[in-house]
Amino acid sequence: MRRVIFVAVMVIGVISSATAQNRDAYVVRVKDGVITTSENGLEYDTQIIEAPDLEEIVSHLPVVVTLVDGREGHIEISYPKVEAEYLRCKVYDNGKSLIIGRNGDVEQPKRSYISEHTPVRVTLSVTTLRSIANMGDMSLNIEHDSFDKWLNIVNSSTLFINASSISAEDKIELVNHGTMTCHVDNWRTENLMLTNAGYLFVEGTTTAKYIEQNSIGIDSTNLEVDCSKLEVISTGSGVIEYRGTADEVNITSMGQATIRTSELNGQM
Amino acid sequence: MKRLLIICSLLIAGVTSSHAQEHIDALLTRDIEGNRHGMTLRSAVKRDPETGEIIKRVYELSAIDHKSLAKEFIEAFKRDRESADVWDESENGSIYNVTAVWQNPKRVYSLAVGGSMVTVYAQTIYREEKQSK
């Protein structure tokens, strides 16, 4: 009996402490248009920006960017409150460019609270985006696939892209100097250009009629195509594999890459 | 019985012709798909966009400091020589050249070896391209 009472008391204690933690985890305050939430002890400020003409995102910090369906130009940026004065998350160039970085006007703290575990979070709903430049650690989640006719993604650090599809009518261009991992099922565009000097992982299918891949880095490419022209120039390494059909294929390899095109247009 | 013999001979001829360049092709496939240091590989394929039919396929491999590879290709060319419709072989100083042609589809394969340098060029023409007016 004593044991039962002891266990019951322990269970009630654990439940009440968890409830208290949960209550603490989502405290929301609003002051001067900035929403403050508390998440496991670390307070997050959320800034809301309206930029219906946004074309570019430039990030120098660990950031999670999520594209969602919503009111055009609505952007929410969340960051640890303790970092607020050290950050610069603003829209420049007449509302065309969102820059996420450090505030160069103030001395930076010795300890940074922004990391891949506690990143800056950007949630936006825009259809005019045409350029993403990452110089920090970025995780790009595309829940609502809506870009301009031309999309250019440049990475010189670590970038993860998660999307069921990426659509840009005329061109999708990936330029990588760091580590870029793209878990994208479908690349919907007319021209697909891949330039790699780091490590690039690309898979899925593409509707592109013209595909160009230039690499001096390490590639892990596995794409299913149905295109007019495919051109690969590699002096790098890794595995580049194309399947499907292509009217014109030009492959030049001067490095150590394994380029598999045997499933393209049948065997030799 | 006669019919059976005809079918058998046709089958044998078919198999022989489809493997006319099997040794060279095997080497090319190996080196194209598993690239090695010091090699330059080029491949091009042209297809008829209307029918999806392949018109032409070209492979070019060049390598420096690959004496063993040069030997392997010389050996492969010699083994496939018997099935070739045209065979042209020449040795000019230290440079050894071979051009071999097979018909149906037309395949023009050439090999140039000079010291440790080797160049292989393999072109398969499935049909002549229509001249654009």
Tens of pLDDT, residues A61-100: 999 999 999 999 999 999 998 898 899 999 999 999 999 9
- Angstrom distance (rounded) from CA B123 to CA B92: 23
Q: What residue numbers bound the domain in which A65 lies?
A: 48-260
Chain B within 8 Å of A33 (Cβ-Cβ)?
A: no
| Higher-pLDDT residue of A180, A4 | A180
Partner-chain residue, chosen from B25, B35, B47, that has the shortest CB–CB distance to A255: B35
Chain A within 8 Å of B36 (Cβ-Cβ)?
A: yes
Partner-chain residue, chosen from A245, A258, A268, that has the shortest CB–CB distance to B35: A258
Q: What average pLDDT score do residues B27-31 get?
A: 81
Query: pLDDT for A24-69, tens place per residue?
Result: 444 555 555 667 776 667 888 999 999 999 999 999 999 999 999 9
Q: Which residues of A touch B43 (CB under 8 A)?
A: 249-251, 261
Q: What does pLDDT average to over chain A? A: 87
Which helix (H) or strand (E) covers residue B81, if one does?
A: none
Chain A within 8 Å of B30 (Cβ-Cβ)?
A: no
**CA B71, B76, B77: angle at the middle one, nearest 5?**
100
- The two beta strands, A218-234 and A210-215, are parallel
For residue A263, what pLDDT band results from cuts at 50, 70 and 90? Answer: confident
User: How far is CA B87 from its chain centroid?
Assistant: 12
Q: Is residue B15 part of a domain?
A: no
Partner-chain residue, chosen from B29, B34, B46, that has the shortest CB–CB distance to A268: B29
Write the burial class of residue A182 (CB in 10 Å: 0-12 exposed, 13-18 middle, 19+ buried). buried
Chain B within 8 Å of A228 (Cβ-Cβ)?
A: yes
pTM of the model: 0.80
Q: Which residues of A touch B57 (CB under 8 A)?
A: 268
| Higher-pLDDT residue of A163, B4 | A163
Q: Is residue B36 part of a domain?
A: yes
Q: What average pLDDT score do residues B5-30 get?
A: 66
Q: Is residue A168 part of a domain?
A: yes
| Higher-pLDDT residue of A189, B53 | A189
Q: Is residue A12 part of a domain?
A: no
Chain A within 8 Å of B44 (Cβ-Cβ)?
A: yes
Number of Cβ within a 10 Å radius of residue A80: 20
Q: What residue numbers bound the domain in which B33 lies?
A: 20-125
Task: Give the CATH number of the domain where residue A206 resides.
Answer: 2.160.20.120
Number of Cβ within a 10 Å radius of residue A142: 19
**How many separate domains does chain A show?**
1
Provide the pLDDT for residue B50.
85
Chain A within 8 Å of B47 (Cβ-Cβ)?
A: yes
- Angstrom distance (rounded) from CA A214 to CA A126: 30
Q: What average pLDDT score do residues A113-122 get?
A: 90
Q: Is residue A227 part of a domain?
A: yes
Number of Cβ within a 10 Å radius of residue A124: 22
Which helix (H) or strand (E) covers residue B5, if one does?
A: helix B2-18
Provide the pLDDT for residue A40.
60
Q: Which residues of A touch B33 (CB under 8 A)?
A: 258-260, 262
* CA distance to partner chain A, nearest, from residue B128 (Å): 15
* CA distance to partner chain B, nearest, from residue A157 (Å): 28
Q: Which residues of A touch B37 (CB under 8 A)?
A: 256
CB B111 within 8 A of CB B78: no
CB A129 within 8 A of CB A148: yes
Q: Is residue B87 part of a domain?
A: yes
Q: What average pLDDT score do residues B2-30 get?
A: 65
- The two beta strands, A74-80 and A42-50, are antiparallel
Query: pLDDT for A127-180, tens place per residue?
Result: 999 999 999 999 999 999 989 999 999 999 999 999 999 999 999 999 999 999
**How many separate domains does chain B show?**
1
Q: Is residue A153 part of a domain?
A: yes
Q: Is residue B14 part of a domain?
A: no
- Angstrom distance (rounded) from CA B46 to CA B82: 29
- Which DSSP letter does residue B75 get? H
Q: What does the H/E/C string look like for chain A?
A: CHHHHHHHHHHHHHHHHHHHHHHHHCEEEEECCEEEEEECCEEEEEEEEECCCCCEEEECCCEEEEECCCCCCEEEEEEEHHHHHHEEEEEECCCCEEEEEECCCCCCCCCCCCCCCCCEEEEEECCCCCEEEECCEEEEEECCCCCCCEEEEEECCEEEEEEEEEEEEEEEEEEECCEEEEEEEEEEEEEEEEEECCEEEEEEEECCCEEEEEECCEEEEEEEEEEEEEEEEECCEEEEEEEEEEEEEEEEECCCCEEECCCECCCC
Percentage, residues of chain A above pLDDT 90: 68
Chain B within 8 Å of A68 (Cβ-Cβ)?
A: no
Q: What average pLDDT score do residues B120-124 get?
A: 94
Q: What average pLDDT score do residues B42-67 get?
A: 88
Three-state DSSP class for B48?
Answer: coil
Nearest Cα residue in chain A from B63: A254
Q: Which residues of B touch A249 (CB under 8 A)?
A: 43-46
